[in-house]
Amino acid sequence: MPTTPLDYEFSACTDVGRVRRNNEDAIAVHEDVCLAIVADGMGGSNAGEVASAMAVDIVGRELRRWLLEAGERAHANAIRAALVDAVDQANQAILDAGRTHAAYAGMGTTLVVGVFWRAQFILGHVGDSRGYLLRSGVLRQITRDHTWLQEQLDHGFISPREAADSGMRNLLTRALGVDPQVQVEINEFAVRPGDLYLLCTDGLTDRLDATALAALLRTPASLHDIAGRLIARANELGGRDNTSVLLAHACPAE
């Protein structure tokens, strides 16, 4: 773990794509507490938009409030617990809205939420929105999809080649707003100066493979420009879904 204090630079953008009529993704960055959130909604009519917006709003509000109140007293285990609590609150609110409003019945959302705390990254996710780390030019996926297809791969029932050609890539096994209890997967990572983290929805990863992602993330450009190029490339390759990109760069504090 680095002894040098770290600063974090963020850039985030979302795009409806070239096929969809509305954007069911939602993103937020709370730079004052180094909190980043991405969600990808699902459901009929505009319900997906409602679910993802609720998740980002509730998790952002509750976790930011906790981080501000905790201040320097915060530690990794407490942040993990606060993250779980915020996700639980969002899950229950989405579930209740779906039960009480006919237009929202069956809605849900993925979620990937990260807190950069000193030289640690506490990352939680539900569903198939992903997190990646580019370190020393090498890209690594740091989340595991909560999908039926990933489970088949994990158990050896299908090969990676078969998975790549499968039409079942987006069948989720976990999502917010579906069940009274949701299991958020949480992992922690030691952050090094120069690390570049990517949080994104599957509108990006369904279009660009790891090689293409790495090449664009290694581009010598501003975070804003890199985020824009990622979305532009997804659209060039069809833009069949909404695409959201959130970048966070760790650099030595000035």
Do you know the residue count of the chain?
254
Does 1 reside within a domain?
no
Does 67 reside within a domain?
yes
Domain extent at residue 58 = 6-252
Task: Determine contact, residues 212/134, Cβ cutoff 8 Å.
Answer: no
pLDDT of 1 strictly over 60: no
- How far apart (Å, rounded) are the C-alpha atoms in residues 100 and 58? 18
Say which residue, 187 or 171, is predicted with more confidence. Answer: 187
Does 175 reside within a domain?
yes
- How far apart (Å, rounded) are the C-alpha atoms in residues 254 and 251? 9
Q: For residue 69, what pLDDT band results from cuts at 50, 70 and 90? A: very high
Does 99 reside within a domain?
yes
Tokens of 140: 């690594």
The structural domain count of the chain equals: 1
User: Exposure pattern of 204-221 as b/e (b: 16+ CB <10 Å)?
Assistant: bbbbbeeebbbebbeeee
Does 226 reside within a domain?
yes
Poorest-pLDDT segment among 149-153, 154-158, 187-191, 236-240: 154-158
Does 192 reside within a domain?
yes
CATH of the domain at 42: 3.60.40.10
Does 176 reside within a domain?
yes
